[in-house]
Amino acid sequence: MPQNQARVRPTTDEHFSSDSASPSNSGRSGEVATREDCAWEAVEEAASNAPGLIATTGTLGLGRRTMTGRLRYWALVAIVALTAGPGAVRGDVKPEDVKFLPNVEKIMRNKGMKKAAALQHYWFKGEENQLVGKRENGKGTKKPLSISDETITMDWVLEFGRARDQYEELVEAVANDAAKKELAEQLQKKFKKSKKETIAFGDFSAKGHKLYAQHTNSRPVTYKLDQLQDELQFALGAFTLYIIPKGKATLTRQGIDVTISEVGVFVFDSYDFNGDQDLRWWKMPDKVSLVHPFPVPDYVNVTNEHYREYRKRNKRGGDFLIYTDVKVSKAKHKFTLPAGAAEKEDKNKRKGKDKNKPKDEK
């Protein structure tokens, strides 16, 4: 779906069976359904409709218990691809497939993925509007992107192990060198504007871009392409956590004395269908697969292009921005930023020394 990969994609830590009714938040202890598992499931399901497929696998000596890892997986992929024929894995956008799209939300709900389904619903009910440029600019082809700031909460995000790991790492990094440099730049601007010797920084109540503009560091939350799947992946795909420090800063002869008393972490993301991306195979009422379970009928291969075509034909489908609430926790950090630290950093950026060091993920 979106630029940072799809909302209907495979995942990492938590297990979400393609046949189960609801996700499990058991974290690292849960079994993960891999692409290999899905390939076997596809072949086994296909066997009921095409017994010859199993006969073929037997002839080739591809018994599931006698082959291991990648060899077994790639053999299965080859069999499924050869049996399915040209265009079975990914073909042109068909009108009937575009009409199928609203069923993705229904399948999510039938699988108990309420958050993911709510985001799908938000997109479909929106007026025609497509993200233009960087998500932080919030620009659309028709108007500024709308903001969803109630559907996804930080408490829900942190139920998933891979998100919590990155959250904890980010909180520890709030006073690292990269974060200090970014904070110095922000504070320098605030001092020039306020004309005071002591100022407060960190406004967790800010909304939209005013919240995003305060972050000093970030961490990505990703997933593995060959694994299937939990609701976090279906809802947010690959996304980013951002951190804002809160405290007081005082100008001294030595520089800027900083005290951080709290930190706030939030998710900011865009829900869009720009770029090319395969969003897997879907079938009513509650099926989703990493691979095409040929020759089982009625599976539809959904891609970003399908959503763009739906928007074009129906004049509905609005890309939007996602903000969570801010997860606040206590912190104790005291340090002095050297005098002129912000100006030096700004000069380095202008000279291009930090050309390959983006503000995020430091």
Alpha-carbon Rg for the chain in angstroms: 24
* Cα–Cα distance for residue pair 342/352, rounded to 1 Å: 15
* Residue 219 within a domain: yes
Under the banding of pLDDT at 50, 70 and 90, the label for residue 291 is confident
Return the minimum-mean-pLDDT range out of 13-27, 43-57, 158-172, 343-357: 13-27
Question: Is residue 22 domain-resident?
Answer: no
Domain membership of residue 97 (yes or no) is yes
Give the β-pairing of 287-289 and 255-271: unpaired
Which band of pLDDT confidence, cut at 50, 70 and 90, is reported for residue 49?
very low
**Structural domain containing residue 343:** 27-351
pLDDT digit string, tens, across residues 146-180 = 999 999 999 999 999 999 999 999 999 999 999 99
Residue 196 domain-assigned (yes or no): yes
Domains: count for the chain: 1
More confident residue, 9 or 309: 309
For 209-268, write each residue's pLDDT tens digit: 999 999 999 999 998 777 656 899 999 999 999 999 999 999 999 999 999 999 999 999
Q: How far is CA 191 from CA 74, 198, 339, in A?
A: 60, 8, 13
Contacts of 216 (CB under 8 A, 6+ apart): 174, 179, 182, 183, 186, 243, 244, 245
Residue 229 is assigned to a structural domain of this protein: yes
Q: Which long-range contacts (CB under 8 A, 24 or more apart) does 192-198 make?
A: 197/250, 197/251, 198/248, 198/249, 198/250, 198/251
Identify the pLDDT of residue 260.
Answer: 98
Would you say residue 346 has pLDDT above 50? no
Provide the mean pLDDT of the chain: 80
Q: What is the pLDDT of residues 82-96, one digit of tens each?
A: 444 333 334 478 999
Identify the pLDDT of residue 273.
Answer: 98
Rounded alpha-carbon distances, angstroms, from residue 296 to 5, 291, 349: 27, 12, 56
**In this structure, is residue 176 part of a structural domain?**
yes
- Phi/psi for 12 (5° steps) reads -125, -90
Question: Is the model's pLDDT at 10 over the cut of 70?
Answer: no
pLDDT of amino acid 16? 34
How much of the chain exceeds pLDDT 90, in percent?
Answer: 63
HSE, CB side, 13 Å, CA atoms: give it for residue 143: 7
Query: Is-contact 307 8, C-beta < 8 A?
Result: no
* Cα–Cα distances in angstroms (integers) from residue 55 to residues 63, 84, 296, 329, in the given order: 11, 16, 17, 59
126 in a domain, yes or no?
yes
Task: Provide the token pair at 105.
Answer: 């939300």
Residue 257's Cβ-count burial label (10 Å; 0-12, 13-18, 19+) is middle
pLDDT of res. 223: 85
The answer to whether residue 7 sits within a structural domain is no
More confident residue, 183 or 360: 183
Mean per-residue pLDDT for 338-351? 56
Return the ∠ at Cα 315 (arms to 93 and 99), rounded to 5°.
Answer: 40
